Structure 1
Amino acid sequence: MRITPLILLLLSLSFPLLGAAPAQADLRITRDHGGYVSEYKEKYQRIRDRHERVIIDGICNSACTLVFGIVPLNKICVTPRASIGFHQAYYDKAFTFGIKVTSAEGTADLMSYYPDTVKDWIRRNGGLTTEMKKIKNGVDLWKIVDPCPEEF
């Protein structure tokens, strides 16, 4: 095939378009019991910065719930299997000999990330405690985040 000036022009115009929009990927949360807050902050900031979507399709407990405060709510949806769990932050270090020691500072940090809709639900349900407080899919969860379209 002979490359003509017209083909070169078309190619030069099309290559920039290929890189113009970043590829969208979805994070599907199905069984996330949480972990280190700092790791979740970094993970969700990357997702936010890439404009990716998050589909909560199962358990999202503890540090996983930071998704509501870092990723824009219009980029998050919940399926009928969604379950969200909140509790106080705690230290889980070797120096505590396996005993969970609650952290007022860590709990305040978690709360500072949550949008008002999450904070309101937590307050209406007695605040954060050592016990897991869960929102199962339904009206209470839909007041915070939209249900996913059926194709998810």
Structure 2
Amino acid sequence: MRLVTGVLTSVLLLAGVGASHAVVRIVDDHGGRIGTYLDRYQGLRSSGETVVIDGLCASACTIVLNAVPHDKICVTSRATLGFHAAWNFGAKGRTITDREATLMLYSMYPMPVQRWIAARGGLTPHMIFLRGKVLQAMYKPCYIDAHYAGF
């Protein structure tokens, strides 16, 4: 079942880990409205939960990089972050880049992510993807038991 925002994010307990060590797993999150994600991640910052990025985290989903302490984020080999400029609907339903929201979004990212984005021309209407060894050099690796991989 697809959630309203198209997010397939799960909260699960890893085997042998107590409830205070809950894990939020991001698997297939294409993003949505920035405000929705700011609200969603507000409580996550102080919860102490670890965020496992184990698939696509794109667009507004990437706000998690600011909302959660760096040491509480880990990435699997399947992790992919997708970045683009913020936009709104303009006349006749056409999308227009929202410069102010784009600058706000960019400023929320950690410096290594900002440098990576800047080296690729900044946030534009076209999606750019951060993955693989470059992403794994920025965030600690995480490993999920095989029986959780398809969750």
- Which bin holds the TM-score, normalised by the shorter protein? 0.7 to 0.9
2:53 maps to 1:56 = yes
* 2:26 aligned residue (22, 25, 29): 29
Shift of 1:98: 2.8
**Does the CA-based 8 Å contact 1:117-1:143 persist in structure 2?**
no
Is the CA contact (8 Å cut-off) linking 1:22 and 1:50 kept in structure 2? no
Deviation of the 1:88 alpha carbon = 0.2
Q: 2:5 is matched with which residue?
A: none
Question: 1:147 and 2:141 equivalent?
Answer: yes
Residue among 86, 96, 100 paired with 1:101: 96
Q: What CA deviation, in whole Å up to 9, does each residue of 1:21-65 have, x standing for no partner? A: 973321111110001111111212211111111111111000001
- Counterpart AA for 2:115: D
**Corresponding residue to 1:46 among 43, 48, 52:** 43
Measure, in 2, the Cα distance between the counterparts of 1:24 and 1:40.
22
User: How far, CA to CA, are the matches of 2:84 and 2:107 in structure 1?
Assistant: 14
1:59-102 deviations in whole A, cap 9, x for unaligned?
1000001111110111011111111100000013xx53331110
Query: Separation in 1 of the partners of 2:76 and 2:19?
Result: 25
Higher relative strand content: 2
CA positional deviation for 1:105? 0.3
Q: 1:46 to 1:96 in 2, by over 3 A?
A: farther
1:102 counterpart letter in structure 2: T
- Aligned residues: percent identity? 43
Gaps of 5+ in 1: 1-20
For structure 2, the residue ranges without an aligned partner over 5 or more in a row are 1-17
Matched to 1:147, the amino acid is P
Query: Letter of the aligned partner of 1:101 in structure 2?
Result: I
Residue 81 of structure 1 aligns to a residue whose secondary structure is coil
Q: Which runs of 4+ in 1 moved over 3 A?
A: 149-152
The structure with more radius of gyration: 1
* 1:150 to partner: Cα distance: 5.2
Task: Tell me the TM-score normalised to structure 1 length.
Answer: 0.78
1:132 alignment partner AA: M
- 1:65 aligns to what? 62
Count of residues in Structure 1 that have an aligned counterpart in Structure 2: 129
